[in-house]
Amino acid sequence: MKSDGIVDWEREAPQWPALLGAARGPGPAVAPADDVLWRVYGPLLRSNVTQASFVIGQMGQSLDGRIATAGGQSHYINGPAAILHLHRLRALVDAVVIGVGTAIADDPQLTVRHVTGPQPARVVIDPKGRLPASARVLEPDGARRIVIGTGAAPAVAGVEHMRLSPAGDGLAPADIIGALRSAGLNRILIEGGGQTVSRFLEAGALDRLHVMVSSMVIGSGPVGLSFGGIKDLKDAVRPRVVTYALPGGDTLFDCALEKE
């Protein structure tokens, strides 16, 4: 594991317009080799995204792996620099995906507000139709809104519905990615919560995983990444990891999972 410092993490980073341009432009992103922000975000900008999707998961957690207290409080485990980072990820992708558990628990907007940039499509995985029509992700603001389920379409005007068949104990991450690709959404952020990101990780469906670790121990409460146990450590997921120290005490674990 390598460590690297964040040298330029401020809100109006001078590299940001070029990073945004690379995300929207047709050509390959030519990254300055010595620039920290290009090292963090450059992998999302690979040029062949029209031939294959790029899927990044993210998880913000405490030192002991918790994403909330036992009572459900999750704001704010990570600090302002981590929130800025999350908004940068949103601005660089085509679609932000959450599980219905997060939509119900947090009622997030999933919009880009802390940086300049386009609004990604907002996607909720909701196999049982539990998402309330009043959820903020469904509010009409010009961004695409998509619900992925197994039954009837939600009764909200303008919301796209993708119906998938269950595979095993849920929807296969590969099917979800395939459905989003067929809708023209190739760069995908799996933003949470724990179950949703874990399903993608376990299925080998993530190219990248950003784990943001705060300098606190919560001691109890839901953990972020969790899936079926392995018997032997040789079967553990072993990404190539670079860490970045953020102002405020959070540490970003940038985990590369795609094949070299």
Ligand X SMILES: NC(=O)c1ccc[n+]([C@@H]2O[C@H](COP(=O)([O-])OP(=O)(O)OC[C@H]3O[C@@H](n4cnc5c(N)ncnc54)[C@H](OP(=O)(O)O)[C@@H]3O)[C@@H](O)[C@H]2O)c1
Binding site for ligand X (CB under 6 A): 59-61, 67-68, 72, 74, 98-102, 105-106, 125, 127-128, 130, 170-171, 173, 191-196, 199
CB of 222 to ligand X, least distance (A): 6
- For ligand X, the closer of residues 66 and 187 by Cβ is 66
- For ligand X, the closer of residues 31 and 84 by Cβ is 84
CB of 244 to ligand X, least distance (A): 17
Tabulate helix, strand, coil % of the chain (nearest 5): 25, 25, 50
- For ligand X, the closer of residues 67 and 255 by Cβ is 67
- For ligand X, the closer of residues 102 and 186 by Cβ is 102
Exposed / middle / buried, residue 157 (Cβ in 10 Å: 0-12, 13-18, 19+): exposed
Whole-number Å distance between alpha carbons of 204 and 182: 20
CB of 32 to ligand X, least distance (A): 29
CB of 28 to ligand X, least distance (A): 30
CB of 102 to ligand X, least distance (A): 3
Sign of CA dihedral 225, 231, 232, 234: negative
CB atoms closer than 10 angstroms to residue 217: 10
- For ligand X, the closer of residues 31 and 67 by Cβ is 67
- For ligand X, the closer of residues 119 and 226 by Cβ is 226
Exposed / middle / buried, residue 209 (Cβ in 10 Å: 0-12, 13-18, 19+): buried
Nearest Cα to Cα of residue 20 among 80, 82, 89, 109: 89
Q: What is the CA radius of gyration of the chain?
A: 18
- For ligand X, the closer of residues 117 and 222 by Cβ is 222
CB of 33 to ligand X, least distance (A): 30
CB of 61 to ligand X, least distance (A): 6
Whole-number Å distance between alpha carbons of 109 and 104: 12
Strand order of the β-sheet with 145-149 is 2-5, 240-245, 251-256, 208-213, 54-61, 187-192, 95-99, 121-125, 145-149, 160-163
